[in-house]
Chain A
Amino acid sequence: MIGFTCIALANARPYISPEASELILKTGMENTSALLEELGVRNKAIYLPSSLREGRPQALIPLTGILDTGRIRAKIPGRLIVRYGDGPGDMALAVTTPGSISLEKLESKPGPNAADIEAAVTYVLTGLLDLANNVTVNMGDGEVKVEVSGPRLHYEDIWYYRCLGSPVASIVATIVCEALGKPVRIAEEDYNRGKSTVHLEVLP
């Protein structure tokens, strides 16, 4: 019985080797990082739910200043450089993050409560991607605190992570924004004693 189970699990592993996956991830990250560096963008990204984008949740990195979510028009077009408001400086980069892709793997959209979000994040990070051991979600007034135990991808002080957060935080932010149907921003991300804590700010 255990032998058959091992064979079944071995066949369930992805066709692409972890080395190839890492290579592809790093290539994508370096390209986005180079783009952000070239444009001199230092602002933190805002994760938008699919209802505000054309079908897929994406991150919006304002090109100038801090993005005011109140100025976001009904639906932002599916382009790389987008105008989100009516002002001349309301321009932003709309990028797809690891979270945007992983959300497609969810069978149903999580509900706007801590239990549903925790189940969805656990499913994606632990079951699907094997990027963490355990996830705990706590929701407060206008903020969501997510504790990820044993994350395999830590936060690094690089340009990409400063704008978009680590891949784990990005996945968490995308699931939370999609569940709540509201834009979110990664306010803080820290790593301590094998536990990564992601503080998300829920924007109006």
Chain B
Amino acid sequence: MRAFNRYILFLVLAAFAINTAIAFVAPNDLTVFFTANVLAFLVITVLHAYLNPRARQSLNAIGIVLFGGFLVIVILKAVDVLSKK
């Protein structure tokens, strides 16, 4: 199997497993879905570090955007916790 196909397959399988599991545990919390998917994306991308430089550059750009979204969630949660105090 080609490297790109393997990468996409891992990503699809991880997303399927994570989303199915969360659908049973916390189906109403969108942030949990997003955070778990972002973490899976980042881990799988790191494991496929040997992809060609152009692909890695594009994936890094997507990773930065997703990580930005993750940080926004963390900040909102932190603000929420602090404002309750």
Binding site for B on A (CB under 8 A): 1-2, 4-6, 8-9, 11-12, 105, 122-123, 126-128, 130, 133
Contact = CB atoms under 8 A, between A and B. Distances in A.
B62 A127 contact: no
29 contacts: A1-B11, A1-B15, A1-B41, A1-B66, A2-B8, A2-B12, A2-B15, A4-B62, A5-B62, A8-B55, A8-B58, A9-B4, A9-B7, A9-B55, A9-B58, A9-B59, A11-B54, A12-B51, A12-B54, A12-B58, A105-B53, A122-B50, A123-B50, A126-B3, A127-B3, A127-B50, A128-B50, A128-B52, A130-B3
Given A1-B66, A126-B3, A12 B55 contact: yes
A146 B73 CA distance: 47
B38 to A, nearest CB: 8
Contacts of A11: 54, 58
B50 A12 contact: no
A6 B52 CA distance: 15
Interface string B44-77: 0000001111110111011000100000000000
B59 A127 contact: no
Contacts of B54: 11-12
Given A1-B66, A5-B62, A8-B61, A127 B37 contact: no
User: Looking at chain B's contact residues, is the secondary structure mostly helix, strand, loop, or mixed?
Assistant: helix
User: Main SS of the interface on chain A?
Assistant: helix
